[in-house]
Amino acid sequence: MESEMKFDLDGDGLIENSGYADQTYDGWTVTGPSAYCGGLWVASLCVMCKMSRLVEDEETYERYRDLLDRGGAAFDKLLWNGKYYNYDSSGRDLSNSVMSDQCAGHWFLRASGLGDGDYQAFPKEKIQSALKSVFDLNVMSFAGGQMGAVNGMRPEGVPDRSSVQSDEVWIGVVYGLAATMIHEGMLEEGMRTAEGCYRTVWERLGMAFQTPEAYCEKNIYRSLAYMRPLSVWAMQLALEDRTAAARTGAAGGERREEAS
């Protein structure tokens, strides 16, 4: 984390992208603070706060708490547009593209058992609004809602074709997105999102256990037997957490009735 500070060029607590291949979407360049890398960074600051509290290192906690407060505020100010987080803050024509992976940082927090209370890095109402935008545009406005979520979508409802990766579907990203939706109570939307990938890979492409990294609307695919689609297990984790929360709520209700 200390080494990554060099990417916070203006000292606002939020890292910036270089405009080159400096993140996993290496064919879809990002300039300045971005939804994907910025969100992962903010989530990482949140985890550092939790870790420092666990080892009772108050000095480190205060340092990362300050970074989280400032970085989170910068992330919101520079990227939130009222409905979702912009792809990046460079001001380019395609900066406001809708990225299907824009809530990855929040997903990691939820999967880690964080994401609320003192460790709620992203406002719940904004996460839900962003997920709704992704579902409406990247999922339902792409290929008739039958192929999962395209990586990048324009707000007017056409895919972002600025790069080879922005108009692809990444199966692992889609399953992670579906898990995030389930965590946020959007069960139907999450299952519909994942179903598009499942039916495309298993039924239409016939790839089964050779699941590729990516495909596009014309059924062209690449990188067989990729590891990112293992994120499908994140859906099970989200479903188990949902079931556990329901049981806890039911048990709490029973105890309240007994007490009354």
pLDDT (tens digit per residue) in 37-77: 999 999 999 999 999 999 999 999 999 999 999 999 999 99
pLDDT exceeds 70 at position 251:
no
Burial zone of 64 (CB within 10 Å; 0-12 exposed, 13-18 middle, 19+ buried): buried
- Residue 153 burial (CB < 10 Å; 0-12/13-18/19+)? buried
Q: For position 252, what pLDDT does the model report?
A: 61
- DSSP letter at 144? G
Whether the pLDDT of residue 257 is over 70: the answer is: no
Q: Which residues pair with 152 in a beta bridge?
A: 99
Burial degree of 108 (CB within 10 A; 0-12, 13-18, 19+): buried
Looking only at the bridges linking them, the beta strands covering 221-222 and 214-215 are: antiparallel
DSSP 12: S
Per-residue model confidence (pLDDT) at position 158: 97
Give tens-digit pLDDT for 71-95.
999 999 999 999 999 999 999 999 9
pLDDT at 15 over 90: yes
pLDDT at position 249: 75
pLDDT the model gives residue 209: 85
How far apart CA 193 and CA 131 sit, in angstroms, is 11
pLDDT digits (tens, 9 = 90+) for 190-247: 999 999 999 999 999 999 889 999 999 998 999 999 999 999 999 999 999 999 988 8
Q: Cα separation of 203 and 190, whole Å?
A: 19
Burial class (CB in 10 A: 0-12, 13-18, 19+), 219: exposed
Fold category of 3-246 in CATH? Glycosyltransferase (1.50.10)
pTM: 0.93
- State the average pLDDT for the chain: 94
**Residue 106 — pLDDT band, cuts 50, 70, 90?**
very high
Lowest mean pLDDT among 103-112, 114-123, 166-175: 114-123
Instruction: Name the E strands within the chain.
Output: 17-18, 31-32, 98-99, 152-153, 169-170, 214-215, 221-222
Domain segments of the chain: what residues?
3-246
